[in-house]
Amino acid sequence: MLMASKLTPTLITWLILPSCLLIFLYSMLLTLYTAPRSHSSNSKNQILAPPKCNLLKGHWVFDPNHKPMYNSTCPFHRNSWNCIKNQRENMSRINSWKWVPEQCDLNRVDPVRFLGLMRNRNIGFVGDSLNENFLVSFLCVLRVADAGAKKWKRKGAWSGAYFPKFNVTVAYHRAVLLAKYEWRSQQLLLSDKDGVKGTFRVDTDIPADDWANIADFYDVLVFNTGHWWHYDKFPKEMSLVFFEGGKPIHPPLEMLDGFKVVLENMVAHIEKVFPKRMLKFWRLQSPRHFHGGDWNQNGSCLFDKPLEELQ
Ligand SMILES: *[C@@H]1O[C@H](CO)[C@@H](O)[C@H](O)[C@H]1NC(C)=O
Ligand SMILES: *[C@@H]1O[C@H](CO)[C@@H](O)[C@H](O)[C@H]1NC(C)=O
Ligand SMILES: *[C@@H]1O[C@H](CO)[C@@H](O)[C@H](O)[C@H]1NC(C)=O
Ligand SMILES: *[C@@H]1O[C@H](CO)[C@@H](O)[C@H](O)[C@H]1NC(C)=O
């Protein structure tokens, strides 16, 4: 998309940091929740008790010995997003942060054990570039357990990987608003407001085509949306117009109210259409932290430490 091609590696590296670090949290949760489905009762699996504390309550700790599990040879990066290969400045410092929960230990993800637990299962990510970044670090971490991992692509799935040793597919479907939306230029519209180039029709109750038919394929679904609900993505002259049941919602909704309706409808859709046995995660956002301007206004990311709690 437009956005990605304009971004320089420096601009987007801030996305990689939270992704790399969150992956450990996420993987841990995933492992814990899938554990009951394992029929084996050996001591390894008994370690997988429910978390003894709130893993989300904690802080970042700087540990110079903390290194990523992968290097620049990981084939799942898009080239311009590969901070290690592009030698982004201060990368080793950025990679030295680790998340430490307040009340209990959080071990690093063990890719062999994780993929072993996920054997014959598939994991799907749906949403915006935060999920995409998450996916890339996840694939690179998992690849450590299976050197035969290869790129996987199907119609509709932006990208992913297949891990033949474990028969596991992990893939991403780009759907920045989750709901279906399409551009309608001004000529098609009846009203003729000054400066309006057109609108985006958002069908709040219809999932975007990219993930419309994936319900039977995945065992785990990680979905998100957030950063696109912003006027820098959809300015006033190209605004979102919300539809439900094929008809415009009256009175028209502001962007954030539309966001709420979309989210409610997408969650209802997932609950109705996706199997009960599927493990579903709603992924939260990390804050934007460009410095000296937004992503398209000469902003850059000079930070090499996480934001403070109240920043
Ligand atoms: C990079 O990682 C691959 C796969 O884990 C490994 O085989 C290779 O030796 C590593 N290369 C470097 C330069 O560390
Ligand atoms: C691989 O996993 C899929 C489910 O994702 C299953 O249908 C298929 O039978 C598995 N293949 C093998 C060889 O076990
Ligand atoms: C970004 O920097 C370029 C070159 O310095 C300048 O021409 C342009 O006006 C700047 N754009 C913004 C939005 O500040
Ligand atoms: C790298 O770190 C140094 C020292 O903290 C800092 O001055 C510099 O701006 C950083 N570079 C980038 C690109 O973040």
What tens digit of pLDDT does each residue of 166-223 get?
A: 999 999 999 999 999 999 986 655 555 567 888 999 999 999 999 999 999 999 999 9
Inter-residue contact 27 to 109 (CB < 8 Å): yes
CA 309 to ligand 4 center in whole angstroms: 22
Give the phi and the psi of residue 237 in degrees, each rounded to 5.
Answer: -80, 0
pTM: 0.82
Higher-pLDDT residue of 268 and 16 is: 268
Task: Please check the confidence at residue 271 and state whether its pLDDT lies above 90.
Answer: yes
Residue among 183, 23, 7, 157 at smallest CA distance from 81: 7
Q: 183: which strand partners?
A: 200
- pLDDT, residue 37, reads 41
pLDDT tens for each residue of 123-134 = 999 999 999 999
CA distance readout (Å), 5 to 2, 73, 209: 6, 22, 22
CA 288 to ligand 3 center in whole angstroms: 20
pLDDT tens for each residue of 30-81 = 444 443 444 443 433 434 556 778 998 999 999 999 999 999 999 998 888 8
CA 74 to ligand 1 center in whole angstroms: 8
Buried b (16+ CB within 10 A) or exposed e, 208-247: bebbeebbeebbbbbbbbbbbbeeebbeeebbbbbbbeee
Query: Residue 20: which pLDDT band, with cuts at 50, 70 and 90?
Result: very low
Encoded amino acid at 89, one letter: E
Question: 167: Cβ below 6 Å to ligand 2?
Answer: yes
Mean pLDDT of 11-26: 40
Inter-residue contact 114 to 202 (CB < 8 Å): no
Inter-residue contact 64 to 96 (CB < 8 Å): yes
Closest CA to ligand 2's atom 4: 120
Return the ∠ at Cα 23 (arms to 131 and 106), rounded to 5°: 155
- pLDDT, residue 43, reads 38
CA distance readout (Å), 307 to 7, 75, 97, 228: 22, 29, 12, 21
Closest CA to ligand 3's atom 6: 298
Residue among 114, 134, 122, 130 at smallest CA distance from 22: 134
Query: Residue 22: which pLDDT band, with cuts at 50, 70 and 90?
Result: very low
Residue among 310, 263, 300, 222 at smallest CA distance from 23: 222
Inter-residue contact 226 to 128 (CB < 8 Å): yes
- pLDDT, residue 194, reads 65
Residues 158 and 280: their CA atoms lie apart, in Å, by: 20
Contacts of 163 (CB under 8 A, 6+ apart): 115, 142, 143, 145, 146, 148, 149, 169, 170
Closest CA to ligand 3's atom 12: 297
- pLDDT, residue 79, reads 86
In angstroms, the first-to-last Cα distance of the chain is: 30
Residue among 120, 130, 125 at smallest CA distance from 159: 125
Q: Which of 100-114, 251-265, 296-310 has the lowest mean pLDDT?
A: 296-310
Query: Residue 305: which pLDDT band, with cuts at 50, 70 and 90?
Result: confident
Q: Choose the residue to mutate in 69, 73, 112, 139 for probing ligand 1, maximizing ligand atoms within 8 Å of C-beta.
A: 73
Q: What is the mean pLDDT of the chain?
A: 83
- pLDDT, residue 9, reads 37
- Tell which phi-psi region holds residue 27, choosing left (phi > 0), alpha (psi between -120 and 50) or beta: alpha
Q: Do β-strands 238-244 and 150-152 pair in parallel, antiparallel, or remain unpaired?
A: unpaired
- pLDDT, residue 218, reads 96
Residue among 310, 301, 251, 309 at smallest CA distance from 133: 301
Query: Residue 118: which pLDDT band, with cuts at 50, 70 and 90?
Result: very high
Q: Choose the residue to mutate in 86, 95, 304, 305 for probing ligand 4, maximizing ligand atoms within 8 Å of C-beta.
A: 304
Task: Please check the confidence at residue 230 and state whether its pLDDT lies above 70.
Answer: yes
Share of residues in the chain with pLDDT > 90 (%): 59
Tokens 């930070």 appear where? 303
Which ligand 1 atom lies nearest to the CA of residue 143? Answer: 5
CA 120 to ligand 2 center in whole angstroms: 5
